[in-house]
Amino acid sequence: MAGLAAALVLGTLGLGTGQKSYIASAQEKMPMMEVKIDNFTFGPAALTVPVGTTVTWINKDDIPHTVVSTDDSKTFKSKVLDTDEKFSFTFSKAGTYPYFCSIHPKMTGKVIVQ
C-alpha cells in the first residue's frame, strides 16, 4: 500500500512519466488471493484484501462445494465446484462480504475489502 500511495503522489505531482508507468505496473500486479476449500472449510475463513483484488476459491475436497455470498442480492455465486475446480470474483468495492457453501451451509467465510 505504501508503494501504491507513493506512486499516486508522484503521479499527482506530474513528475516525469511516473503516472503512466504506475498504471502499467498496477495492471501487472492486480492483486490476487486464493481461498482453499479443504476438509469442508474455507481457508482462510476471513480474508482481508485491498479494493480491486480478485479472489479465487479452489476446491481441494472429494466432495463438491459452492461459494455463495449471503446477501439477498447474491453479489457473487459460483456454480457447483467439483474437485480442483475454481471460482473467481473481483471485489471492486470496499466492505465485508460474508459467504457460505450452499450445499453445506455450516461452511462459512468472509472477505473483508478495504
Partner 1 sequence: MAGKVKDEILHDHNHDGIDRRGFLKCMAWAGTGAFCVMQGGVLKSYSLSRIPELNAKEAMGELSFVQISDSHMGFNKPANPDVAGTLKAAVDKINGLSATPEFMLHTGDISHLSKPEEFDTVDQILKNAKPKDVFYVPGEHDVLNDDGKQFLERYGKGSKGGGWYSFDKKGVHFVGLVNVMNLKAGGLGTLGHEQLEWLEDDVKHLKHSTPIVVFAHIPLWSVYPEWGWGTEDSAQALAYLKKFGSVTVLNGHIHQTMQKVEGNVTFHTAASTAFPQPAPGKADSPGPMKVPAEQLKSVLGITDVNYVQGQHALAVVDSTLA
Binding site for partner 1 (CB under 8 A): 39-41, 61-64, 66, 70, 79-80, 82-83, 98-100, 102-106, 108
Nearest distance in Å: CB 97, partner 1: 12
Nearest distance in Å: CB 50, partner 1: 25
Count how many Cα atoms sit within 13 Å of the Cα of residue 92 in the half-sphere of its side chain: 2
φ, ψ dihedrals at 111, nearest 5°: -115, 125
SS3 14: coil
Closer CB to partner 1, 31 or 36, in the complex: 36
Closer CB to partner 1, 28 or 62, in the complex: 62
Whether 66 and 78 have beta carbons less than 8 Å apart is answered as yes
